[in-house]
């Protein structure tokens, strides 16, 4: 009995056809997505033009505007020239603010070891009367804590060691290159919870369940870099975190 032979290459041909169709769909989807993004970018530019005054002079509105830009990959801060630089000027605004923030952090480093609250930086700048005037604007702009955090991110891109960390409800600026591990963060959080920002190894043992060796190891770097002060009273070591 003769056996009918199956056609050779039919499965491969079908697979090639499916693969080709998949590539066509992928290309079409990519082109459609790019077109959608371009339309959204144009809408964003129109929005920025319409609300230019609010972006420049309202810190809360400015923060929300930057949140709108992020998903589209638009960074008005990096564009010192071109549309965003000439129209809004907020890249230059954050550059100048980052310089002022760095000055405050470096000037206070001998006192706080390179860790300072964002709120304290804002208070110092406010006391100095530091404001920024945008081009073609009669008003001088103030800034919020979110603006200071954004300016620190701009500094961090320079590899300067500047960064922000969240400790409890507070946001701190760290201006030293040393990396803080989980143990250091636990100590900082504990100090933040204490009324006067003071911890002892006994307190760390009670609250964190650490032995004396682990506690001393975590405190060693913080103490060595001046991030914490040591006060020995009646033989007991008290570690104070500047506030």
Angle in degrees, 0-180, between the axes of helices 59-69 and 10-50, rounded to the nearest 10: 160
Does residue 219 lie within any of the structural domains?
A: yes
pTM strictly above 0.85: no
Q: How many domains does the chain have?
A: 2
> What distance in Å separates the CA atoms of residue 202 and residue 205, rounded to the nearest whole number?
5
Per-residue pLDDT tens digits for 175-187: 887 778 889 999 9
Per-residue pLDDT tens digits for 64-85: 888 888 877 777 876 555 677 7
Same domain membership, residue 197 and residue 127 = no
Q: Is the pLDDT of residue 166 over 70?
A: yes
pLDDT tier, 120 (very low <50, low <70, confident <90, very high otherwise): very high
CB atoms within 10 A of CB 183: 18
pLDDT at 79: 56
Considering the chain, what is the average pLDDT of its residues?
80
Mean pLDDT across 41-58: 84
Same domain membership, residue 158 and residue 189 = no
Q: Check which CATH number belongs to the domain holding 45 and give it.
A: 1.10.10.10
- Tokens read off for 228: 């914490």
Per-residue pLDDT tens digits for 216-241: 999 988 888 788 889 988 888 999 98
**Any idea how long the chain is?**
243
Same domain membership, residue 230 and residue 193 = yes
Same domain membership, residue 197 and residue 86 = no
Same domain membership, residue 216 and residue 139 = no
pLDDT tier, 27 (very low <50, low <70, confident <90, very high otherwise): low
Domain boundary among 125, 148, 177: 177
Same domain membership, residue 170 and residue 240 = no
Residues in Cβ contact with 44 at an 8 Å cutoff, skipping those fewer than 6 apart: 68, 69, 72, 74
Name the residue range of residue 208's domain: 178-243
Q: Is the pLDDT of residue 12 over 90?
A: no
Same domain membership, residue 185 and residue 170 = no
Same domain membership, residue 128 and residue 202 = no
Q: Is the pLDDT of residue 53 over 80?
A: yes
**76 closest CA partner among 209, 229, 63, 34:** 63
Same domain membership, residue 223 and residue 207 = yes
Q: What is the DSSP string of 35-90?
A: HHHHHHHHHHHHHHHHTHHHHHH-HHHHHHHHHHHGGGT--TTT-SSHHHHHHT-H
Same domain membership, residue 189 and residue 172 = no
Same domain membership, residue 110 and residue 80 = yes
Name beta bridge partners: 27.
none
Same domain membership, residue 159 and residue 209 = no
Q: When comparing pLDDT for 5 and 153, which is higher? A: 153
Does residue 4 lie within any of the structural domains?
A: no
């Amino acid at each position: 009995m003769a056996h009918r032979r199956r056609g050779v290459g039919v499965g491969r041909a079908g697979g090639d056809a499916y693969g080709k169709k998949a590539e066509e769909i992928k290309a079409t989807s990519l082109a459609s997505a790019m077109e959608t993004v371009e339309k959204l970018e144009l809408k964003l530019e129109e929005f920025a033009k319409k609300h230019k005054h609010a972006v420049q002079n309202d810190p809360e509105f400015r923060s929300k505007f930057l949140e709108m830009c992020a998903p589209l990959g638009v960074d008005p801060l990096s564009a010192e020239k071109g549309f965003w630089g000439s129209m809004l000027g907020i890249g230059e605004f954050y550059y100048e603010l980052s310089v002022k923030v760095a000055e405050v952090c470096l000037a206070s480093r001998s006192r706080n070891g390179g860790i300072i609250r964002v709120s304290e930086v804002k208070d110092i700048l406010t006391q100095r009367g530091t404001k920024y005037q945008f081009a073609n604007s009669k008003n001088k702009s103030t800034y919020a804590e979110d603006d200071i955090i954004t300016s620190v991110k701009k500094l961090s891109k320079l590899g300067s060691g500047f960064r922000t960390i969240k400790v409890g409800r507070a946001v701190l600026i760290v201006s030293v290159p040393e990396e803080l591990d989980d143990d250091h963060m636990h100590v900082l959080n504990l100090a933040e919870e204490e009324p006067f920002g003071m911890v002892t190894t006994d307190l760390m043992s009670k609250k964190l369940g650490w032995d004396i060796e682990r506690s001393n190891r975590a405190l060693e770097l913080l103490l060595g870099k001046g991030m914490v002060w040591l006060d020995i009273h009646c033989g007991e070591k008290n570690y104070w975190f500047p506030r």
